[in-house]
Chains A and B, each alone.
Chain A
Amino acid sequence: MGFMFNIDGGYLEGLCRGFKCGILKQSDYLNLVQCETLEDLKLHLQGTDYGQFLANEPSPLAVSVIDDKLREKLVIEFQHMRNHAVEPLSTFLDFITYSYMIDNIILLITGTLHQRPISELIPKCHPLGSFEQMEAIHVAATPAELYNAVLVDTPLAPFFVDCISEQDLDEMNIEIIRNTLYKAYLEAFYGFCKSLGGTTADVMCEILAFEADRRAIIITINSFGTELSKDDRQKLYPRCGRMFPDGLAALARADDYEQVKAVSEYYAEYAALFDGSGNNPGDKTLEDKFFEHEVKLNVYAFMQQFHFGVFYSYLKLKEQECRNIVWIAECVAQKHRAKIDNYIPIL
């Protein structure tokens, strides 16, 4: 199928693989953690694929500037690929951006709930998830209004249908909206990848299944000690992971962390993640373990050719790299070197 794939996607896949080769290696990280100041960090990044991306920033550097520039570079690369894509890759790439749209919406609603001016919130939104009506989101006071006034024109509209029932926007409801949206989004994306078939389906479904399970587990763990009822909780689980349906049912009954762990015992990969994590100092948190597993899956995506998974994986890997750099930069800036090694290495 390679020759058919290459008609439309060959150039972009090659481009994406080229970009992927620019991802920092372990040796780069070893050098980065040795940096004394952010200027050192900048100097070292100049020697990598990032090149002169900080050259026009006046010193002294701030971590936020680095963060912005890293993101800007990633966004430019992604937009470039998006602009060259044709169907069905363009839809695929659009699907990737929907998750950022969800994040942006939640960010804005939470912000307006806390009486923050919209102009202060907009710069915090992820540029990949920006859409035209985004800034007017604060006119909505209820989810129904949110849907009718703002979201109905966006691609997120079908995902939002389940959320309209909620009465008003408070912290809890926003959280529920976020998770419901995400659930609908993941299921739709999963279905879309399945419909594409071939290697894309193989690679993407595995990654998305993991994403779904991770969300289910995290939701469960975070829900302990809140007023979220078990029924409501179950409604938030994305139903496209490996844990569907038995694992999710078991998760829905869980009352504490140990029970969640017990559920994960049935799934070899997840059991290993739980075993390797801990809350003691020096141990890796469960979240970090999940990230590591995600990185692994994303790196595996590059082992196969002629599929769309590389675009998703590249974005995710690059995001992880940005997080790593920002983490190291924060540690350097705050002279807090004890935890500087807690970045997630990208194999």
Chain B
Amino acid sequence: MGSLFRSEEMTLCQLFLQSEAAYACVSELGELGLVQFRDLNPDVNAFQRKFVNEVRRCDEMERKLRYLEKEIKKDGIPMLDTGDSPEAPQPREMIDLEATFEKLENELREVNQNAEALKRNYLELTELKHILRKTQVFFDETAPDYQDMLVNRFSQLNPSFHSRPSKYDIRTLRVKFTKSQMADSHREEEQLNLLEDGPRGQQQQNLKLGFVAGVILRERLPAFERMLWRACRGNVFLRQAMIEAPLEDPSNGDNVYKSVFIIFFQGDQLKTRVKKICEGFRATLYPCPEAPADRREMAMGVMTRIEDLNTVLGQTQDHRHRVLVAAAKNLKNWFVKVRKIKAIYHTLNLFNLDVTQKCLIAECWVPVLDIETIQVALRRGTERSGSSVPPILNRMETFEDPPTYNRTNKFTHAFQALINAYGVASYREMNPAPYTIITFPFLFAVMFGDLGHGTIMALFGLWMVLKEKPLAAKKSDNEIWNIFFGGRYIIFLMGVFSMYTGFIYNDIFSKSLNIFGSGWHLSYNTSTVMENKALQLDPAYDAPRTYPIGMDPVWQVAPLNKIIFQNAYKMKISIIFGVIHMIFGVVVGLFNHRFFKNKRAIYCEFIPQMIFLIFLFFYMTLLMWIKWIRFSAQNPAPYSVHCAPSILITFINMVLFKTSPLINEECNEWMFWGQGVLQKFLVLSALACIPVMLLAKPLLIMQERKKALHQPILPYSTDGQDGENGGLNPQTQTAAAAAPAGGHGHEEQEEMSEIFIHQGIHTIEYVLGSVSHTASYLRLWALSLAHAQLAEVLWNMVLKMGLTMSGPMGGIGLWAIFGFWASLTVSILVLMEGLSAFLHTLRLHWVEFQSKFYAGQGYAFTPFAFEAILDGGGSTED
């Protein structure tokens, strides 16, 4: 259990794995997730590593699986996700898997191809059907001699078109067509004139009017029409009609809207041109017989073919569905398997190959406590692979900093995450997380103290804790929800602690509970109370007993001085908690110094820091206690209420070596005997600590270095003189060699000036920090005040309105207003205020508390674990 207070002891190990057994062993280690491998060939390109082919095969398999997944999703077939993770298959099974996927993919592709061909066919037939139907309308709505008219019109208008192609012409042409349908007499005449221009029969022979019919995407139609007009100089006539129902594009299954068009033109030249344009705009042309009877016959044929095609299509779809359903059952399983194989080969790529090519060499960080487990796993892996040579796990000596590994469970995990968000602890440094478990919810609660709001929060946390398993299984992608869910234990604890502080503050939705009966009684008679707006109760006479626990509920009905009273109380407890918290932080630092055998730091840093903090700030909290205990309303003169000094003024005067003026003749100058002398002593000794903190450590280091420097220089000076002292050399050299082996390998290289600067910064930070951090804890009071005030405002402004309504409407009004009040309570007071208090608590821990001892310069232990890889893989996939 030692690991909760410090990170796990780690060791660098060398691992010799026989080539055949390597895969199985790494697979076992992956399931275990306790080993962090180091990259032994960082200079080698990704594609020049040993197992790159296997990785590539896995990539290929993943691609096939993704293809399958895409198809399955397209059909909306549910994928079976059992959540269990099958073991990584043997390398030889990889071939089976590959074959299976290959088969499935090919089958699916074939089915898709067939389906696409069928759909294309179907689409063509549907389009043809629409063409036949729509053109029927085109042909029908015109008179039987419509075509003749058309021919004549073209013959007449052509010359003008050739000479002057303009939009105006086609417009008039269209107008004429529509008008002729309405049998406009004037136009009729004009037509007749036109008709008389030449022998009719001859013209019909000369000008054979052709037409093409087709289907085009609706959005392309305007450009198409314009292009036709331009390219053919207006010598074509286009009719179009929309196909209302969307058609399915066979290549990607999208719904597209299309239109039917029919183009009339004359001559072969125009025909090729029109066809080219149609091709250019990807319009599909269909044969369309001219005679109505042919068309009807063709339509019949098309209908029957569509029927046939439908059955075939249905069968194809069924087949596809069956294939996909079968695949969907195993898909997740396969994904897990392939990812595991890929992860194993990725890891194997980090290994070195032995000269004999017989075994792989790996280097890894492992927790010392788990070496046994790892060895068991390795043995299991060897057995599975059928290899005879056991793997060898050697511990290595190293000067490198090991990774920081804090073992967590679901409860401590969230707290550890809060600490790691600031910085991962240096190796084997004191871990603040265990203390945070209590201090975090407590400091939060001091700011959030309200029994009602705390209950809401605690219930929410409790719900998440109790429903943990089903909620976790859902694996929501909602980031905000995941944050809440991840911190469920924190939320629950924060809620419970807030209930406690709310009870102490006697505050529930800004009201008070009168459980034990107020300790105050009223000495005024009724008429006095009714007549006077502001009356004060004298604590000397009106408060015969104290309320057993928490704040007396009578304060709730004292609107004028409730806040003043509470402020004094909350400010003081904020400072008391803050100073204790900081002292605790410095003490934790002591454990660090002792653990790292840093005696110098204890004498030069810890002790002066402690003295400074205790003599100044802890003394101030003591004054508060003394004031609380000694001064009372019932006490006689020197310790009566009027004589109670202000702690803040006292403290400031103490630092400035001033005596505070007497408040009253009968009061004492000091709170207790010898206070003046004691204060002078405290301030002077605290100030004396500053130079100690600033200079002691660097001076000691300098001295030590000088000593160390003198020795190696000696041989040189003696060498020059004579060979007499030659015998000294080996001795001094060994001494010099022993010095760096003492453990401060790289510290020796640090510049002296840098050490001075560092120490200066640290000292200034600490001394100034002590003042500002103490003041910073006042946020406990400030937020608590703000929270209480906000709750009160909400009650008075909102719910009180509902409560004062009378009559039957009052009930309904109260109902609505209560809803409003409740939602504001939850959203603003619980959520927003909670978030704000949370952030302030976080700051108090990160800055005020951890700055006293926490370096946070380590790097996290990231073991090779399938679990993490699969989780991460899943989230990046989506």
Contacts and interface: CB of A to CB of B under 8 A. Distances in A.
Interface residues of A, number: 31
Given A56-B66, A133-B280, A139 B231 contact: yes
Contacts of A149: 227, 230-231
Given A135-B279, A137-B280, A139-B273, A43 B63 contact: no
Interface in B272-294: 273, 276-277, 279-282
22 contacts: A34-B45, A40-B47, A40-B48, A40-B52, A44-B47, A55-B59, A55-B62, A55-B63, A59-B56, A135-B279, A136-B227, A136-B277, A136-B280, A137-B280, A138-B276, A138-B280, A139-B273, A139-B276, A139-B280, A149-B230, A150-B227, A153-B226
Pairs of residues from A and B, 8 with the lowest C-beta to C-beta distance, nearest first: A136-B280, A40-B47, A135-B280, A149-B231, A43-B47, A149-B230, A139-B276, A132-B223
Given A43-B47, A133-B227, A135-B280, 17 more contacts: A34-B45, A40-B47, A40-B48, A43-B46, A44-B47, A55-B66, A56-B66, A118-B279, A132-B223, A133-B223, A136-B231, A136-B276, A138-B280, A139-B273, A139-B276, A139-B280, A149-B231
B31 interface: no
Contact of B281 (A36, A136, A145): A136
B51 to A, nearest CB: 12
Nearest to B49: A43
Contacts, number: 70
Interface in A22-44: 31, 34-36, 39-40, 43-44
Contacts of B231: 136, 139-140, 145, 149
Q: Among A55, A132, A135, A140, which residue has the most Cβ atoms of chain B within 10 A?
A: A132
Interface string A123-145: 00000000011111111100001
* Residue of B63, B66, B227, B280 with most chain A CB atoms under a 10 A cut-off: B280
Contacts of B63: 55-58
A139 B277 contact: yes
A152 interface: yes
Contacts of B226: 153
B60 interface: yes
Nearest to B273: A139
A31 B277 contact: no
Interface residues of B, number: 26
Interface string B834-878: 000000000000000000000000000000000000000000000
B48 A34 contact: yes
User: Is chain B's interface secondary structure helix, strand, loop, or mixed overall?
Assistant: helix
B877 to A, nearest CB: 10
B60 A56 contact: no
Q: Is the interface of A mostly helix, strand, loop or mixed?
A: helix
Contacts of B52: 40, 43
B281 A135 contact: yes
Contacts of B281: 135-136
A62 to B, nearest CB: 16
A118 B280 contact: yes
Contact of A47 (B46, B48, B230): B46
Interface of B: 45-48, 52, 55-56, 59-60, 62-63, 66-67, 220, 223, 226-227, 230-231, 273, 276-277, 279-282
Contacts of A44: 45-47
A148 interface: yes
Contacts of B47: 35-36, 39-40, 43-44
Contacts of B67: 56
Interface string A145-167: 10011101100000000000000
B232 to A, nearest CB: 9
Contacts of B55: 43
A34 B226 CA distance: 54
Contacts of B282: 135
B290 to A, nearest CB: 26
Nearest to B105: A58
Nearest to A153: B226
A120 B641 CA distance: 100
Contacts of A59: 56, 60
Interface in A148-198: 148-150, 152-153
A153 B223 contact: yes
Contact of B45 (A31, A58, A132, A148): A31
Contacts of A36: 47
A59 B66 CA distance: 15
Contacts of B220: 132
Contacts of A132: 220, 223
A45 to B, nearest CB: 10
A150 B228 CA distance: 10
Contacts of B56: 39, 43, 59
Nearest to B222: A132
A46 B58 CA distance: 15
Nearest to B47: A40
